A = this chain, B = another copy of it.
Amino acid sequence: MTSQWQQQPVGLVGLGLIGGSLGLDLVARGLEVRALVHRPATAERARQRGLASRISTDPDVLAGCGLLVLALPLDRLLEPPAELIAALPAGAVITDVGSVKAPVLRVWQGRVPRFVASHPMTGTAEAGVEAGQRDLFRGRPWVATPVADTDPAALAVVRELATALGADWLECAAADHDQAVALISHLPVLVSAALLQAADRGAAAAAGAVPALARALASSGFADTTRVGAGNPELGTLMARCNREAVLQGMAHYRSALEDLEQLVEQQRWREMEAELDRCRQLRPPFV
């Protein structure tokens, strides 16, 4: 890494999973990393973990940064505190890591001159100051959703950051990003959560030995299918809230797909059902 932006400190706002992982990777590469966190206890622990070169609860810590990553939860990203806005260094390239892009652009594009909406996709459910880890971004997609008035030089800086950390860079329209992640990331959370509720309700309705039996017999298939449904409730809610329209569209497609399968079972159309399940088997490899 030898580019212009690396001559100045890199700023991180937030040191959770994404911010902390960025900090570890950048510090390891010898960069000066300055981080703003919310609580003194977080600052203390983040210092112990070496998540950044300088860590503070005072927004002034960001002064002089040439590149700034807003590694905040979606809700805080969409309602940024005035003191954060005031502390953003003039002229800095600013990017975010939010998992929904159109609402982020509505809030940030135009508010700061060199904003680049981006989303490093990490697929890890951990959160908080303990979650950051080295090489979290290696081999993972890092999606940017530039708009017409995105500064091309700023976009290039964020791209350099992403590729320097081993991520696979992609650019697309924010609306396309949001529809895609609704289907492959936000919808699975709801589908998976509903399975936990159905197993609980179904077992309770059957009563007798069934509730204990269902829990004793559940194996890796159930564990895999319910993993994301039992993830961070705050994150799951934020994704649905910030990507509501696309999530509802995805749920409508899901409902119709499930009803089709249910009809095959109801009407005992086993040959068609086997063909449908065979089609599902073929659908999966391009996604995984």
A→B interface (CB under 8 Å): 121-123, 140-141, 143, 170, 172-173, 176-177, 179-185, 187-203, 205-206, 208-210, 213-231, 233-234, 236-237, 240-241, 244, 247-251, 253-258, 260-262, 265-266, 268, 270, 273-281, 283-284, 286-288
Given A185-B222, A224-B227, A233-B277, 5 more contacts at CB 8 Å? A141-B219, A191-B194, A199-B287, A247-B265, A255-B258
SS class of chain A's interface: helix, strand, loop or mixed? helix
27 A–B contacts, CB within 8 A, in A order: A123-B221, A172-B209, A172-B213, A176-B213, A179-B202, A183-B202, A184-B222, A187-B195, A188-B221, A188-B222, A189-B277, A190-B261, A193-B277, A194-B254, A215-B286, A223-B287, A224-B228, A226-B287, A229-B277, A233-B274, A233-B277, A233-B280, A237-B277, A240-B265, A241-B268, A247-B265, A248-B266
Please state if A217 and B184 are interface contacts (CB–CB under 8 Å): yes
Q: Name the 7 nearest CB pairs between A and B, nearest first.
A: A233-B277, A123-B219, A198-B254, A197-B257, A230-B284, A194-B258, A180-B213
> Residues of B contacting A265 with CB < 8 Å?
190, 240, 244, 247-248, 251
> Residues of B contacting A196 with CB < 8 Å?
280, 283-284, 287
Query: Within the complex, what minimum Cβ distance (angstroms) separates A177 from chain B?
Result: 7
Q: How far is the CA of A173 from the CA of B207 in the complex (A)?
A: 13
> Residues of B contacting A240 with CB < 8 Å?
265, 270, 273
Query: Within the complex, what minimum Cβ distance (angstroms) separates A224 from chain B?
Result: 4
The 8 Å CB contact of A227, one of B225, B255, B276, is B225
